[in-house]
Amino acid sequence: MASQLAIHRLNKFLSEKEDLDEVAAAKIDKLIAELQTPGDHFDPVQTIVNGFMDFKIHKFDKYPCLFDKLALGQSPKFLVFACSDSRVSPSIILNFKPGEAFMVRNIANLVPTFSQLRYSGTGAIIEYAVTQLKVENILVIGHSKCGGIQRLMEHPEDGSVPFDFIDDWVKIAQDAKDKVKAEGGGHEACAREAVNVSLENLLTYPYVHKEVSERKIALRGGYYDFVNGVFELWEKHESHISPPMIIPPPQLKM
C-alpha cells in the first residue's frame, strides 16, 4: 500500500512539474519503475491498480476536454477487427486513442459470412458500427504466429482431439487454408489470406455492401509481423485488392 501511494504521488509530481530537468525526471521515472516491480510474486490486482492509476494521471486527467467530449458519445472513424492475441493490440501498435476505433478482438480476427442463424456477436458489431456509429473505415488486421491460423492449418490432419468451440470458429477461414495449401504456402500466407477472406465476408452484410458501393466505407486489410517489426496495409476494392504498403519500406533500415 505504501509503495502504491508513493507511486501515485510521484506520478502526480511528475505531471505537475513541467519545468523539471531531464536528469531529475529520469531518476524519478526509474524510482517509480522500481516501486512497481512486482518481484517474484505476480499480483493481478496490483497490476490492474497500477495500470488504471497510470492511465488516470497521465491521460484522463491531462486531457479533460477530450474525455468530457467522449463521455457524451463516440464517433469513431474505424471499425477494427484484430486477434485476441496478447501481443497485437491495435491501441499499442497503431496508437489508437480513446474514441478512434470501435474494436473487435476474436480468435484469428475472423469475420464470418452474414447469417441470421449464428454468430450474432459479429453481426451485432457490424450492424452497430455501420448503421449507428457510421464508421468510415473497416480494418481487419492479421498477424504472424497466430494460434488460430495454426490450428486451422494443422487440424484435423494432425489427428488431434477436436476442441469444443475453436475448430468450429476457425473453419470460417477454410477457403484461405484450401487456397494456400494448393499453392504450397504456410501459416503466414494463410494468415494474410484469411484477412482477405474476412474482407470478402464483410461484403455479404447488406449494409456494408451498400456503404462500400456508395464509397462511404473503405475496406482495408493489415498484417502485423512481430517477428520482423513490419506492418503491411492494403485496400480491398470491389474488383481488386491493392498491392500492400510495407511499413517500414524494405530499403529503409530502422
Partner 1 sequence: MAILPPTSSSLSKDSSYSFSLHIQSSTIFGSKLKSGEFQQTRFRLFSNSNSYPGLTIKASRESLGLTQELKSNKLERVVETEDGSDLFEDMKHRFLSFKKHKYLENLEHYQNLAKGQAPKFLVIGCADSRVCPSTILGFQPGEAFMVRNIANLVPPFESGPSETNAALEFSVNSLEVKNILVVGHSCCGGIRALMSMNDEIDKSSFIQSWVVNGKDARLWTKAAASKLSFDQQCKHCEKESVNRSLLNLLTYPWIEEKVKKGILSVHGGYYDFVDCTFEKWTLDYKEDNLKEKNGRISVKSHILWS
Find out whether 98 and 119 touch, Cβ atoms under 8 Å.
no
DSSP string for 59-84: IITT-HHHHHHHHH----SEEEEEE-
Annotated binding site for Zn(2+): 83, 85, 143, 146
Which span sits near partner 1 by CB under 8 A: 153-161, 175-183, 187-195, 228-236?
A: 228-236
Q: Answer yes or no: 240 catalytic.
A: no
- Among 9, 58, 87, 237, the active-site one is 87
Binding of partner 1 by 221 (CB under 8 A):
no
* Three-class SS state of 130: helix
Counting beta carbons within 10 angstroms of the beta carbon of residue 45, is it exposed (0 to 12), middle (13 to 18) or buried (19 or more)? Answer: exposed
Q: Is residue 105 flagged as an active site residue?
A: no
Contact call for residue 169 and partner 1 (CB under 8 A) = yes
111 in Cβ contact with 82 (< 8 Å): no
Q: Yes or no: say if 143 and 92 are a contact pair by the CB < 8 Å rule.
A: no
Candidates 24-32, 180-188, 192-200, 224-232: pick the segment binding partner 1 (CB under 8 A): 224-232
Contact window for partner 1 (CB under 8 A) among 125-133, 152-160, 183-191, 194-202? 125-133
**HSE-up (13 A, CA, CB side) for residue 254:** 8
Q: How far is the CB of 252 from partner 1 (least distance, A)?
A: 7
For residue 13, the minimal CB distance to partner 1 (Å) is: 12
Residue 83: active-site member: yes
Choices 25-33, 162-170, 176-184, 190-198 (CB under 8 A): range interacting with partner 1: 162-170
Under rule CB under 8 A, how many of the chain's residues touch partner 1? Answer: 111
- 143 classed as catalytic: yes
Query: Using CB under 8 A, which residues numbered 58 to 117 contact partner 1?
Result: 59-68, 70-78, 84-89, 91-107, 116
User: Alpha helix (H) ranges present in the chain?
Assistant: 2-16, 22-36, 44-55, 64-72, 90-93, 120-127, 147-154, 166-170, 174-182, 187-202, 206-213
- When asked if residue 30 is in the footprint of partner 1 (CB under 8 A), the reply is no
168 touches partner 1 by CB under 8 A: yes
- Cβ atoms of 128 and 104 closer than 8 Å: no
Instruction: Give me the helices (H) in 37-173, please.
Output: 44-55, 64-72, 90-93, 120-127, 147-154, 166-170
Which one, of 109, 91, 108, lies nearest residue 100 by Cα?
91
Using CB under 8 A as the binding rule, whether residue 198 contacts partner 1 is answered as no
Is residue 58 flagged as an active site residue? Answer: no
The whole-angstrom distance between residue 21's C-alpha and the CA centroid of its chain comes to 36
Kindly tell me which residue out of 32, 126, 176, 197 binds partner 1, with binding defined by CB under 8 A.
126
Of residues 19, 83, 118, 151, which has the active-site annotation?
83
Of 44 and 184, CB closest to partner 1: 44
Residues with a known catalytic role: 83, 85, 87, 143, 146
